[in-house]
Amino acid sequence: MAETVIEPVRRSFAVLEALSRRRTSTLTLLAGETGLPRPTVVRLLHTLAALGYAQRVSRDQGWRLTDRVLGLSESIRFVDHLVDAAMPHMSRFTAEHGWPLYLATLSSGAITIRHSTAPESPMAFEAAALNTRRSVLLSALGRVWLAFSGPQERRATLRDSETAALGARATAALDEMLARIRRDGWAFTARTRSRIHGMAVPIRNEGRMLGSLSMRFPHSAMSEDEAASRFGHRLVHVARTIASDVVAARDSSAAHSALAG
């Protein structure tokens, strides 16, 4: 079934997109690019201005976006910061131990791969899989995210995922599994026919999940107990280092913005 398009919202975004193409735009230009009547464009511009997203520069130059629109991309910029902080530590681990690492964040009820050292690994059996989505209940990356996120975020994630209608028995089993993951400090991929297995740890700061980090390896290479014994605490250390670097970069950026302002 096709998604319903709310026309006033579509028109608002058409004006925002037109404004984003240049430093300033006249009313005539905006009406021409969006195909909207001038009175409609005027009403939308005044609405955007009242909300702080647009500003009239002058009669001749017209309108421009304000820096408030940057806030709309905050989550995207955070992913960039996370990847930047994680890359050197992930590469170092793969160079030392051989196994590929995968970095992921939660997006719309699924885990999304943001970076991988698979291209750098001599023991990788999969592609980097960038921007592919994984199940929150089947993947190690998703399981560890659920286990270490707060109760409210966990409920929201399950509500948004493919597991929204879990029964009482399945919910109890899930709670038991997540409690075990919190005790251990890491999660493993659900058993499937795939010959590739994964062990994941949380990347978090002050109780808030920032990302998930997993190591992928064939079932035949080692058991879960062997993987946990050999690499569990190493992965936890890498994840903590990444979290520390993300927080330091965020604080530095905030301080720089304050000085600039």
Q: Which residue has the tokens 């690019």?
A: 33
Percent of the chain at pLDDT exceeding 70: 88
* pLDDT grade for 32, boundaries at 50, 70 and 90: very high
CA distances from 62 to 11, 50, 58, 76 (A): 18, 16, 5, 29
Beta-carbon contacts of 162 under 8 Å, excluding residues fewer than 6 positions away, are: 109, 135
- Give the pTM: 0.71
The CATH number of 7-65 is 1.10.10.10
To which H or E segment does residue 50 belong? Answer: helix 38-51
The DSSP output letter for 37 is -
- Boundaries of every domain in the chain: 7-65, 73-255
Q: What is the pLDDT of residues 49-81, one digit of tens each?
A: 999 899 998 888 899 998 788 667 555 667 888
Q: What is the pLDDT of residue 76?
A: 60
Cα–Cα nearest to 195, from 174, 220, 224? 220
Q: Given this structure, which CATH class describes domain 73-255?
A: alpha beta
Q: Measured between alpha carbons, how far is 173 from 195 in angstroms, rounded to an integer?
A: 25
Label the pairing between strands 133-134 and 110-116: antiparallel
Give Cα separations from 244 to 34, 102, 179, 250 (angstroms). Answer: 45, 18, 25, 10
Provide CB contacts within 8 A for 37, sequence distance 6+: 31
* Residues whose CB falls within 8 Å of the CB of residue 143, separated by 6 or more in sequence, listed in order: 136, 137, 177, 178, 181, 187, 188, 189, 190, 200
Look over the chain and give the mean of its residue pLDDT values, rounded to a whole number. Answer: 88
Question: Over the stretch 141-163, which tens digit does the pLDDT of each residue have?
Answer: 999 999 999 988 888 888 776 55
Determine how many CB atoms are found less than 10 A away from the CB of residue 198.
Answer: 23
